[in-house]
Amino acid sequence: MERKPVIVVQDLTRRFGEVVAVDHLTLEVVPGEIFGFLGHNGAGKTTTVRLLNGILTPHGGTARVLGLDPVHDGPALRRRTGVLTENPSLDERLTGRENLSLYADLYGVPPGEVPRRTEELLQFFELADRADQKVGTYSKGMKQRLALARALVHEPELIFLDEPTAGLDPVAARHVHTLIARMGHEQQRTVLLCTHNLVEAQKLCHRVAVLEHGRLIALGTPTDLARQWVRSHRLELEVAPDSLPMAQAVLQTRWGISNPLLENETLILTGVARETIPDLVASLVTAGVRIYRLTPQEPTLEDVYFALHGEDRAPGPPPLGILHAGPDTKGRKR
């Protein structure tokens, strides 16, 4: 049975003066999906979250979220959504427990359930031992966890997470990633994740939308986007040590790669078009190069992102002769 989308957005537009923050955005998000919103700062991610929760009014287009119109049904909609704002937006003069209780009241959690719900969340987010201390004394990671707990205090069906790991240390970020994965994969909640952390998106999201200047420039699963947008690959080539000079010579004379990167006795070739790999291997073998290992690296979301923005992902040798140019712009979704 086809699942009814949780979010349906059609030509959504919002301006701030002359600046178009969200420009004719059209997309759908289905239940249980972890949907990523990628883009630079100012790409329109946060504005879209505000529009979808009815705290900003659009200048054009329509949106239905959980079957409701954010403009006219804002309070009813916000009762069913939870938002982790980019800034934790916590009252630092209140304790962690007071912050959660306040928002439990504001979100209409039944009064008898508030103490149990806040205690459960404090335990779950490993904040129970500091629950009665002022939030101003918390570390950044603790504040982020508390803000996440606050977004979940009323058990929302749809969760918006705006840069949930921004500024966190790797351990705290990993902790948040585990929580998001659990919400999406185990609890079957729908999550809309705004991030410019591409590794995070690759790891967590079922599908991603890439925004640029408020416009949707790509939409799909990370794998689909990689196939669609990244035609060149990164290869790791390990050869016998005595074959290394010959391999370098062949790469330079035949393929125009003058100084391939050498990492741990492995040559790193970037920008190799997939269909040239057999010829590349054949030329090396013919020249007597003894190949131990050739590993094509699957393009990451990071590769997709930089391909979309027309930027080189990493420094390296000039691209090989048969490289594809950038993707066909006619294929861009608007």
Binding segment for other proteins among 99-107, 183-191, 225-233, 262-270 (CB under 8 A)?
99-107
Cβ neighbours of 259 (radius 10 Å): 11
Binding segment for other proteins among 68-76, 197-205, 239-247, 305-313 (CB under 8 A)?
68-76
Residue in 90, 131, 148, 284 binding other proteins, rule: CB under 8 A: 90
Site for other proteins contains 137 (CB under 8 A)? no
Q: Which of 306, 309, 170 is nearest to 234 (CA)?
A: 306
DSSP string, 64-81: EETTB-TTTSHHHHHTTE
Residue in 4, 19, 67, 87 binding other proteins, rule: CB under 8 A: 87
Q: Are 70 and 11 in contact (CB under 8 A)?
A: no
The site map against other proteins for 36-65 (x = CB under 8 A) is: --------------x--xxxxx--------
Q: Are 103 and 114 in contact (CB under 8 A)?
A: no
Site for other proteins contains 97 (CB under 8 A)? no
**CA–CA distance, 183 with 226 (Å, rounded to integer):** 26
Site for other proteins contains 107 (CB under 8 A)? yes
The site map against other proteins for 175-214 (x = CB under 8 A) is: ----------------------------------------
Q: Which of 46, 50, 84 is nearest to 161 (CA)?
A: 84
Site for other proteins contains 166 (CB under 8 A)? no
Site for other proteins contains 282 (CB under 8 A)? no
Site for other proteins contains 75 (CB under 8 A)? yes
Residue in 60, 74, 141, 327 binding other proteins, rule: CB under 8 A: 74
Q: Which of 314, 319, 322 is nearest to 258 (CA)?
A: 319
Q: Burial level of 128, CB count in 10 A (0-12/13-18/19+)?
A: middle
